[in-house]
């Protein structure tokens, strides 16, 4: 697939994108793609913030009963990021 609508990593330009927060679970199968996209945006001059959440899976944020501390940390990261832009 070479259509940027199918994968944001295929975009040729990132002009006009707003600041982006990446909250990435380190046990997520999609982790590497998220890290790559964050680096591409950063290289293109888009303001980014990366928060790598340790020892959690892709859907950790939907499981606050299982990952209460990590969900709280993610919520704090969102609040701090929103306050910074």
Domain ranges of the chain: 8-84
pTM of the model: 0.85
Q: How confident is the model at residue 5 (pLDDT cuts 50, 70, 90)?
A: confident
Q: 51 - beta bridge partners?
A: 23
Distance CA 22, CA 75 (A): 12
Q: What pLDDT score does 21 carry?
A: 98
**pLDDT for 15 beyond 80:** yes
**pLDDT for 62 beyond 80:** yes
Distance CA 74, CA 4 (A): 28
């Amino acid at each position: 697939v070479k259509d940027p609508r199918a994968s944001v990593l295929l975009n040729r330009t990132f002009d006009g994108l707003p600041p982006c927060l990446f909250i990435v679970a380190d046990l997520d199968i999609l982790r590497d793609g998220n890290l790559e996209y964050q680096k591409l945006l950063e290289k293109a001059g888009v303001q980014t913030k990366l928060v790598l959440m340790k020892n959690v899976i892709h859907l950790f944020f939907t499981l606050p009963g299982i990952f209460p501390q990590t969900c709280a940390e993610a919520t704090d990261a969102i609040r701090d990021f929103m306050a910074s832009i």
